[in-house]
Structure 1
Amino acid sequence: MAVRNAKRLTLSSTAVLILSALSVNQSHAAGYQIAFDSVAGLGRAHAGEAAIGDSAAAMGRNPAVMTLFERAEFSGSLIYFDAEINVSGSSDAQSSSDIIPSQFAPASYYVHPINEQLAAGFGIYANYGLGTDLKDDFLAGELGGDTELFTVNLNPALAYNISPMLSLGAGISLVYATGEVNRHYGGGAGAFGKQASDKILSWDGDDWTFGWNVGALLELGQRNRFGLSYRSGVDLKLEGTFTDFSPGVAIPGGGSTTAVSNVPLPAMAEFSGFHQVSEKLSIHYSALWTQWSEYKEFSASSRDCTTNGGICFLKPEKYDDSWRWAIGATYQLDPTLKLRAGFALDEKAGATTLSIPDQEAYWYAAGMNYQLDSNWSFDLGFAYMDRSDESFTETSLFTSTHDYTAKGYLLIVGLQANYRF
Structure 2
Amino acid sequence: MNIRKLSQALIATSAALTAAHVNAAGFQLVEHSASGLGRSFAGEAAVADNASVLARNPAAMSMFDSIAVSGALTYIKPDVYVKGNTGVNALDRALDNEDVVPGAPVPAGYFIQPINDKWAWGFGMFSNFGLSTEYPDDYAAGPIAGQTELITLNLNPNVSYRVNSHFSIGAGLNAVYGTAKLIRNFGSNSPFPASGNAAHLKGDGWGYGWNVGAMWEINPNHRYGISYRSKVDLKFKGDFYSDIPEGLSTNPYGTGGEEIPGKLTLNLPDIFEFSGYNRLNQAVAVHYSYVWTGWSTFQEINATSDGIGSVMQKDEKFSDSYRVSFGATWYLNPEWELRAGMAFDRSPSRTHKTISIPDNDRYNYGLGFTYHLSEQGSLDAGFTYIQGKEGSFNEEGVEFVSKGDAYIVALQYNHSF
Q: Taking structure 1 as the reference length, what is the TM-score of the superposition? A: 0.91
Other structure's SS at 2:30 match: coil
Corresponding residue for 1:255? 258
Corresponding residue for 1:417? 413
1:79–1:413 Cα contact (<8 Å) kept: yes
Corresponding residue for 2:165? 164
Corresponding residue for 2:15? 24
What is the identity, as a one-letter code, of the residue corresponding to 1:205? G
Other structure's SS at 1:334 match: coil
1:146–1:183 Cα contact (<8 Å) kept: yes
1:274 is aligned to 2:272? no
Q: 1:16-415, aligned counterparts within 5 Å? A: 17=9, 19=11, 21-26=12-17, 27=19, 28=22, 29-90=24-85, 91-189=92-190, 191-192=191-192, 194-195=193-194, 198-248=196-246, 249-251=252-254, 253-304=256-307, 306=308, 310-350=309-349, 351-395=352-396, 401-415=397-411
Residue-by-residue CA offset, 1:166-186 (whole Å, 9 max, x unaligned): 100001111101111111222
Other structure's SS at 2:94 match: helix
What is the identity, as a one-letter code, of the residue corresponding to 2:209? G
> Partners in 2 of 1:15 and 1:32 — Cα distance?
23
Q: CA deviation at 1:362?
A: 0.6
> Partners in 2 of 1:170 and 1:53 — Cα distance?
16
Other structure's SS at 1:46 match: coil
Identity fraction in percent? 40
Other structure's SS at 1:142 match: helix
Give the length in aligned residue pairs: 400
What is the identity, as a one-letter code, of the residue corresponding to 1:23? S
Q: CA deviation at 1:209?
A: 2.4
Other structure's SS at 1:89 match: strand
Q: CA deviation at 1:118?
A: 1.1
What is the identity, as a one-letter code, of the residue corresponding to 1:335? P
1:39–1:416 Cα contact (<8 Å) kept: yes
Other structure's SS at 1:255 match: coil
Other structure's SS at 2:332 match: strand
Other structure's SS at 1:93 match: helix
> Partners in 2 of 1:251 and 1:169 — Cα distance?
50
Q: Taking structure 2 as the reference length, what is the TM-score of the superposition? A: 0.92
> Partners in 1 of 2:255 and 2:95 — Cα distance?
30
Q: CA deviation at 1:136?
A: 2.1
1:144–1:355 Cα contact (<8 Å) kept: no
Other structure's SS at 1:71 match: coil
2:6–2:141 Cα contact (<8 Å) kept: no
Corresponding residue for 1:398? none
What is the identity, as a one-letter code, of the residue corresponding to 1:224? H
Q: 1:277 to 1:148 in 2, by over 3 A?
A: same
> Partners in 2 of 1:380 and 1:268 — Cα distance?
26
1:15–1:250 Cα contact (<8 Å) kept: no
Q: CA deviation at 1:188?
A: 3.6
Which consecutive unaligned segments of at least 5 residues does structure 1 have?
396-400
> Partners in 1 of 2:413 and 2:295 — Cα distance?
33
1:235–1:264 Cα contact (<8 Å) kept: yes
Q: CA deviation at 1:157?
A: 0.5
Backbone CA RMSD of aligned residues = 1.8
> Partners in 2 of 1:409 and 1:377 — Cα distance?
30
Q: CA deviation at 1:253?
A: 4.2
> Partners in 1 of 2:242 and 2:159 — Cα distance?
47
